[in-house]
Amino acid sequence: MDRPTRCPSGGLLLDVRDEGPSHGAPVLLLHGFPQDRTCWDRVTPVLHDAGLRTLAPDQRGYSPGARPTGRGAYRLELLVEDAVAVLDAAGLERAHVVGHDWGGIVAWALAAHRPERAASLTVASAPHPRALARSLARSGQGLRSAYVGAFQLPRAPEALLRPRLGELLHRSGLPAAEAARYAARMEEPGALTGALNWYRALPLSRLRTGAVDVPTTYAWGNRDLALGRRAAELTAEHVRGPYRFLELDAGHWLPETRPELLARLVVERAGDPGGTAGRG
């Protein structure tokens, strides 16, 4: 059953797609840049067949009703509050939290700072934020992340990205159909600036993501152009709960290119939240 809704959060309205068995264990799906909730379209059928309910929001900056101006409105602590607001609006105490790319950063932070709201954690591509920070000086991650500094500039990134975004996404490994769809969404008024403001708010965010105690699965593609091996390997040091790391022969866009495998990881974690398989 598809239950599209709009979720209030701090005076904003997030568009949320609530699907699957209404009494199934809930799964919160958090997309990255510059995706939207449709990135999960090939993941959710597997989750629903397994009896899970999914809630997939278009996050702050991506929902037309949630595009505040000013980079301060996109601090990490506010993004975590949005995710919690989605659970509150659905009347849920907690959910299995899944995130990709920037959605993974939000998922790590939610699990670290609001662990009572996360039954488990499954993250695709994005390493733990502290592992990523440590890797900047210990590997080639600094070069991979150079674009983050460029995104801090006002207006210029929008001007450079807008005419080429679809092409750049496709060249990075995203299938053409999804690349075109996400690029088209970024043409909406304020959408691209809202999405880029996630990066611009990094220096302003007061939330520092600590170690995670909830059962966690982390999947990383060894052909990811943006996120390298060192950060992926260091992530284990920031998870104290049951942990599984899976290296994939894949690129960055795991929800679109490895949807069935990613869905199986979520189903396994949801079905075994205590992590009886242990670390590995």
Q: What is the rounded CA–CA span in Å between residue 121 and residue 14? A: 22
Summarised one tens digit per residue, pLDDT across range 51-109 is 999 999 999 999 999 999 999 999 999 999 999 999 999 999 999 999 999 999 999 99
For residue 101, what is the domain's CATH number? 3.40.50.1820
Beta carbons within 10 angstroms of residue 185's beta carbon: 18
| 55 within 8 A of 95, measured Cβ to Cβ | yes
Catalytic one of 36, 58, 82, 101: 101
- The string of pLDDT tens digits covering residues 199-249 is 999 999 999 999 999 999 999 999 999 999 999 999 999 999 999 999 999
Question: Is the per-residue pLDDT at 279 higher than 70?
Answer: no
One-letter identity of residue 81: E
Q: How many domains does the chain have?
A: 1
What is the per-residue pLDDT for 272? Answer: 74
Residue 279 domain flag: no
Of 62, 74, 199, 243, which one is the catalytic site residue?
A: 199
Q: How far is CA 4 from CA 7, 56, 224, 258, in A?
A: 10, 9, 32, 25
Active site residue 101: yes
**Residue 278, in any domain of the structure:** no
Is 277 a residue whose pLDDT tops 60? Answer: no
CA-to-CA dists, residue 222 to 9, 95, 214, 230, angstroms: 36, 28, 25, 11
Task: Please report whether residue 277 resides in a domain.
Answer: no
Q: Annotated catalytic, 199?
A: yes
- Does residue 85 fall inside a structural domain? yes
pLDDT (mean) for 189-201: 98
Within a domain: residue 280?
Answer: no
* Residue 107 within a domain: yes
**Residue among 96, 113, 128, 252 flagged as catalytic:** 252
Taking only the tens place, the pLDDT of each residue in 116-151 is 999 999 999 999 999 999 999 889 999 999 999 999
Q: What is the pLDDT of residue 276?
A: 44
Question: Would residue 276 count as lying in a domain?
Answer: no
CA-CA distance, 120 to 215, in Å (whole number)? 5
Q: How deeply is 114 buried, as exposed, middle or buried, from its count of CB atoms within 10 A (0-12, 13-18, 19+)?
A: middle
CB 194 within 8 A of CB 33: no
Establish how many alpha carbons lie within 13 A of residue 126's alpha carbon, considering only the half-sphere containing its beta carbon. 23
Domain that holds residue 196: 2-271
CA distance 27 to 103: 13
Q: How confident is the model at residue 138, as a pLDDT? A: 84
Residue pair 237/216 in contact by the 8 Å Cβ criterion: no
Mean pLDDT computed over every residue of the chain: 94
- 182 to each of 33, 116, 122, 174, 192, how far by Cα in Å? 9, 33, 23, 10, 10
Q: Within 10 A of 64 (CB to CB), how many other CB atoms are there? A: 13
In a domain, 108, yes or no: yes
Burial class (CB in 10 A: 0-12, 13-18, 19+), 84: middle
**pTM confidence score:** 0.95
How high is the pLDDT of residue 273?
A: 62
